[in-house]
Structure 1
Amino acid sequence: VVLGGDGTMLAIARQLAPFNIPLIGINQGRLGFITDIQHKDIATALPSILTGQYEEEQRAMLEGAVLRPLGGSSGSDELEVIYEGFAINEVVVSRGATASMVELRAEVDGQFVANYRADGLIVASPTGSTAYSLSAGGPIIHPGLGGWVVVPIASHTLSNRPIVVPDSGTITIEIVAARDASMNFDMQSLASLLPGDRVTVRRSAHRVRFLHPKGWNYYATLRRKLRWNEGVA
């Protein structure tokens, strides 16, 4: 049982996913997209779930790594893994503290997709498609679908649009040029990047198990949290 907001749930879920432990979220934050039991409903919802009356949902996770040329030379073909981590929402490659854009090259399974001059690039899971990715103009993806959404952040070229790719492959993002760049997982853990570094993102072997109250469904969550179908005040 996780008490807190979505950020707390993301942190705990990343730690417990390798152990296949189901999670129940009680919202004590603001939005509560994945912590869907409200504090006022604990007395009725929690006992029902603990006695087996629940809807179980499994969500895909992202696995990311930073590969750096040996010796720090961007011309080297030999790479070493300097950082690895898991994400439930998204892996983000972005500019750091400077105001300069980063230049990135993206591939999927070795096939060139696009070059980007932007503030960064988001690779989001279906779970993360309603988070940072949505704010950057990405689409909502149902969590039952097997795909990632790749979303540029404030791209210099207006034709660089979000694209949904299969989650069966590996996304590679090369840092072509940057004064300062970083990679983060669910906006919580961070790795510094250098030109020549490559970030790989693939589907993790682990999945997150969420237990929801009986009768829960994804579309009702979208309506409630995103305030769909509400009249104009």
Structure 2
Amino acid sequence: MHFPTVALVGRYHDTGIAAPLLAVAQMLRDAGREVLFESDTAANTGVTGYPSATVEEIGRRAALAIVVGGDGTMLALARQLAPFGVPLAGINHGRLGFITSIPLENATDAIASILDGQYETEERTLLSSCVVRDGTPMVSALALNDVVMSRAGAGGMIEATVQVDGLYMSNQRADGLIIATPTGSTAYALSANGPILHPALRGLVLVPVAPQTLSNRPIAIPDDCTIEVTLTRAPSGHDQGCSVHFDMQSWSSLQEGDRLVVKRADHTIRFLHPAGYSYFSTLRRKLHWNQMSGAAAD
């Protein structure tokens, strides 16, 4: 039997999330699977009749975790489950749905095919990051999308020096700098005119945000590099300064001289999609790329 124990996690702030969660749970139970509800999801949706578990317990017990929500919910769970090697499947109950790729209306059929072993697998890179001050680590975090150094207020630009594997690359004077994985290349990096990286690429992309010099362009580098970004000048003022963002996690106490160190994490995360899934089809739908009529279109 594929995936004998399956965990369900929902974006429980969404109105009406309980109904699709219960529909998937019932389908899983009918298929003979043990169903675990993530404890916060169960508590905030009023779902009863199924055992609940913390994310750590899910990591130890589940063979598959299914997210019903948006990409943000998927990002948060992926960071937590990566050390346990539990694969994830995402049912889109949000807006874009780049990584929660299963449409809500097709959820039960899609999950049934995955349970039958008919699925595509994608392995996604995570970033391990820390801020170092005078040789002392101040904060560390994982990120699936990106790590971003940016100005915290409405003041001037930040200035930073970038090194790759100990080699000087550039000085940056910009509103910020994005270090993105292929997963994150369709997030903030894309809005800052960065390139889209296919998930199978073993690379990272560095994208300046509104650089002072227009010739300062995004660059793709191998993902086994260590990137160091040293803040050399931050905007001054009561409500200004500089922040670091690790996906949705923020740290707003960056000081001049601090080093942001980013490298590929030891763990990866696996996303499961129903058989026939196409990354290019996702791009066409989500980015509204022009499509030819007929068989080539979705």
Q: TM-score range by the shorter chain?
A: over 0.9
Task: Please say if residues 91 and 107 of structure 2, whose CA atoms lie closer than 8 Å, have aligned partners that are also in contact.
Answer: yes
CA distance in 1, matches of 2:73, 2:250: 13
Partners in 2 of 1:199 and 1:184 — Cα distance?
11
Q: 1:214: which partner in 2?
A: 275
Runs of 4+ in 1 over 6 A off after TM superposition: none
Higher relative CO (Cα under 8 Å, sequence separation at least 6) belongs to 1
Q: Which residues of structure 1 form unaligned runs of 5+? A: 70-78
Aligned to 2:164: 108
Task: Report the Cα offset of residue 170 of structure 1.
Answer: 0.2
Deviation of 1:230 (Å) = 4.4
Alpha-carbon RMSD:
1.1
- Relative to its length, the structure with more strand (as a share) is 1
State the TM-score, normalized to the length of structure 1. Answer: 0.92
Listed one character per residue, the Cα deviations across residues 92-142 of structure 1 (whole Å, up to 9, x for unaligned) are: 000012422100110101111110111010000011111100100100111
Aligned to 1:148: 204
The one-character-per-residue Cα deviations of 1:6-54 (angstroms, maximum 9, x if unpaired) are: 0110011111111100001000000000001111101211111122111
Hey, what's the Cα distance between the residues in 1 that align with 2:122 and 2:251?
28
2:89 to 24, 28, 47: 24
Structure with higher Rg: it is 2
**1:188 alignment counterpart:** 249
The structure with the largest helix share of the pair is 2
Give the letter for the 1:61 counterpart. L
Number of equivalenced pairs: 222
Helix, strand or coil: the match of 1:52? Answer: coil
1:140 to 1:181, Cα distance in 2 relative to 1, 3 A: same
Aligned amino acid, residue 158 of structure 1: L
Contact kept in structure 1, 2:182 and 2:204, CA below 8 Å:
yes
Q: Cα offset for 1:56?
A: 1.1
Post-superposition shift, 1:187?
3.1
Q: Secondary structure at the match of 1:48?
A: helix
Partners in 2 of 1:220 and 1:157 — Cα distance? 35
- Partners in 1 of 2:244 and 2:250 — Cα distance? 8
The answer to whether structure 1 residue 200 and structure 2 residue 261 are counterparts is yes
Unaligned stretches of 5+ residues in structure 2: 1-65, 293-298
TM normalised by structure 2 equals 0.73
| 1:152-191 equivalences in 2 (<5 Å) | 152-178=208-234, 179=236, 180-191=241-252
* Residue 65, structure 1, aligned to residue 130, structure 2: yes
Deviations 1:158-210 (A, max 9, x none): 11110111111100000001031010111334342000000011000100110
1:9 aligns with 2:74: yes
CA contact (8 A) 1:83 1:191 kept: no
For residues 191 and 47 of structure 1, the distance between their equivalents in structure 2, rounded to whole angstroms, comes to 44
